[in-house]
């Protein structure tokens, strides 16, 4: 989880931020980091509610009202508050894609692996159109596997 500092430096760069705006950005980034799913809470496959670090902090998942995507708007057109949200949105895009890449195992598929997908396994699928803090809508539990022509 130490990679968040790298992404923070890249999205903030040399932005002229007040203490309050930087504190707000760090608080929003903390919510992003603590909203990532760890596992599911229930044993029932029909209820894939994820357990997150936020559950340990406040006893429930962290949620936020979805903000419109303003990552494509030029900086000089934004208010300071919008700029704060833009920085967090840029951070979310960078960090979430790297986090999901770290969860993937990188090996060649030349042999059958014991860690291959199994029914009942929890899988996270990235949806770039979802706002930050919205992991729970992209968690999937594998119900059936349909092997290909090679038997995998």
Distance between CA atoms of residues 71 and 111, nearest Å:
42
Report the interhelical angle of 80-103 vs 19-33 (nearest 10°): 30
pLDDT tens, position by position, 76-132:
888 888 888 888 888 888 887 777 777 765 555 555 555 567 776 667 766 666 666
**In terms of residue numbers, what domain contains 18?**
4-141
Element (H, E) at 14: none
Residue 127 lies in a domain: yes
Q: How many domains does the chain have?
A: 1
- 82 within some domain: yes
In a domain, 94, yes or no: yes
- pLDDT for the residue numbered 1: 54
pTM over 0.75: no
Q: What are phi and psi of 65, to 5 degrees?
A: -70, 130
pLDDT at 140: 66
Q: Tell me whether residue 5 is exposed, middle or buried, using C-beta atoms within 10 angstroms of its C-beta: 0 to 12, 13 to 18, 19 or more.
A: exposed
């Amino acid at each position: 989880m130490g990679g968040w500092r790298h992404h923070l430096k890249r999205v903030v760069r040399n932005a002229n931020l007040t203490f309050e705006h930087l504190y707000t950005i760090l608080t929003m980034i903390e919510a992003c980091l603590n909203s990532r799913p760890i596992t599911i809470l229930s044993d029932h496959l029909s209820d894939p509610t994820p357990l997150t670090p936020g559950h340990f902090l406040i006893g429930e998942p962290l949620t936020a009202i979805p903000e419109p995507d303003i990552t494509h708007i030029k900086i000089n057109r934004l208010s300071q508050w919008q700029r704060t949200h833009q920085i967090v949105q840029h951070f979310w895009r960078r960090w979430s894609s790297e986090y999901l890449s770290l969860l993937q195992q990188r090996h060649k598929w030349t042999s059958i692996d014991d860690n291959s997908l199994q029914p009942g396994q929890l899988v996270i699928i990235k949806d770039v159109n979802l706002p930050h803090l919205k992991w729970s809508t992209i968690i999937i539990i594998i119900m059936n596997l349909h092997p290909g022509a090679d038997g995998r």
